[in-house]
Amino acid sequence: MTTTQTPPSDTTSTDDDFMAGELPTRRQDKLFEGITTGAGILILLTLAGVAFFLVQKSLPSLELPAESLPNAEDIGGYTWPLLFGTVYSAIIALLLATPLAIAIALFMTHYAPSKLAKTLGYVVDLLAAVPSVVYGLWGIFVLAPFFVPVYDFLADTLGWIPLFAPVVTPSGRNMASAALVIAVMILPIIASVSKEVFLQTPRLHEEAAMALGATRWEVIKTAVLPHGRSGVIGGAMLGLGRALGETMAIALVLSPTPGLIGFAVFTAQNPSTIAANIALSFPNFGGQERSALFATGLVLFVATFVVNYIARRIAGESTGY
């Protein structure tokens, strides 16, 4: 209404003036909206804070004396092998997990009876709920020793490929085991996103394929997979983002060699990853060297940010995920 001056006692007046009774309500509404908006802005401030402290704490690393970092001349030489290890382990894990995750999603949407599928979805969720430190322990004591004979076999028969070069480390604590553990951890993410897109396949497309006499696999090949492709790629990228940042499982399973860049996955010499290196080095480093860890953390933050951004762009096109 018009800007009429309301008396200061408007809150006490009851029914003599309709407008006066409405104003405090409006003010309460504005106040509540302000509070919720403020909470939203807090998100902005938190992220700005994360970026600010990472940058501020990593600035001293640019002026670190040459011999203060292990196996590196400067911060660039320190970060590069770690970034390599991070990306390398994540990509191997992704290559292992994605086909399996697609198969799981297909099983839950198109093969299992719908009641069973619900329970199975719960099992996959549980896989995502196990803490990474428990995965790490399991990786060292169960997964790595279990796969050592497999590594031996591959190194014996395919050892001429640089990837499978011998000598296999007897403990199994190598890049292959680390990638396997991460693959298990990112499996549920890729599977659940894929499941969502497979469920959204237009019913008519599937029925049309069936009406033409297609087998179940032909329905999937011609209707489900083409529809779900971008969603699956988006889910895989989300899994990649998680794999890049995985810390404790790698810190436990992988036995790292500082400063190394190498592609062999079975040997005892493995490149470390940014996240695992921070976890392993942080307690031992003094304030000055810690700035180098903050610098690597900043690189990791930016890398996961870019990957997640692309993932949501791709997945969002098909699912609005």
Partner 1 sequence: MQKSTPGASLETNKLSPLQLGGIVAVALLIAIAVSLPVPGTNVTMVVLLAGVIAVVATYVISRRVEGRRHAQDRIVTGLVTASFVVATLPLISLIYTTVSRGTNRLDMEFLTGTMRNVVGEGGGVSQAILGTLIITGIATVISVPIGILVAIYLVEYGRGQSLAKGISWLVDVMTGIPSIVTGLFAVGLFTAIFDPGYRSGFAGSIALSVLMIPVVVRTVEEMLRLVPMKLREASYGLGVPRWRTILKIVLPTALPGIVTGVILAIARVVGETAPLLLATGLSDEVNLNPFDGRMASLPLFIYNSYITPGVTVQASYDRGWSAALLLLILVGVLFGLARLLSAALTPKGLK
Residue 304 within binding range of partner 1, rule CB under 8 A: yes
CB of 311 to partner 1, least distance (A): 8
Residue 176 sits in the site that holds partner 1 (CB under 8 A): no
Among 73, 202, 215, 261, binds partner 1 (CB under 8 A): 215
What SS3 state is found at 214? coil
Q: Is 190 in the site for partner 1 (CB under 8 A)?
A: no
**Residue from the set 19, 130, 158, 212 that interacts with partner 1 by CB under 8 A:** 130
Task: Please report the sign of the dihedral spanned by the C-alpha atoms of residue 252, residue 253, residue 256, residue 260.
Answer: negative
Which positions from 27 through 86 interact with partner 1, judged by CB under 8 A?
28-29, 31-33, 35-44, 46-47, 49-50, 53-54, 56-57
The span of 72-80, 156-164, 166-174, 281-289 binding partner 1 (CB under 8 A) equals: 281-289
Interface of this chain with partner 1, residues 249 to 278, rule: CB under 8 A = 251-252, 275, 278
Query: How many helices (DSSP H) and strands (DSSP E) are in the chain?
Result: 12, 0
The yes or no reply on residue 301 touching partner 1 (CB under 8 A) is: yes
For residues 316 and 97, give the distance between their C-alpha atoms in angstroms, rounded to a whole number.
21
**Residue 197 binds partner 1, judged by CB under 8 A:** no
Gap between the Cα atoms of 301 and 297, Å rounded = 6
Sites for partner 1 among residues 88-127 (CB under 8 A): 99-100, 103-104, 106-108, 111-112, 120, 122-127
Please name the residues in contact with 31: beta carbons below 8 A apart, sequence gap of 6 or more: none
Please tell me the count of residues contacting partner 1 according to CB under 8 A: 91
Buried b (16+ CB within 10 A) or exposed e, 44-66: eeeeeeeeeebeebbebbeebee
CB atoms within 10 A of CB 33: 10
| Binding region for partner 1 (CB under 8 A) out of 74-82, 132-140, 158-166, 261-269 | 132-140
Stretch that binds partner 1, among 11-19, 63-71, 227-235, 238-246 (CB under 8 A): 238-246
User: d(Cα 42, Cα 67) in Å, to the nearest integer?
Assistant: 41
Q: Does 212 bind partner 1 (CB under 8 A)?
A: no
CA separation for the pair 271, 241 (Å, rounded):
19
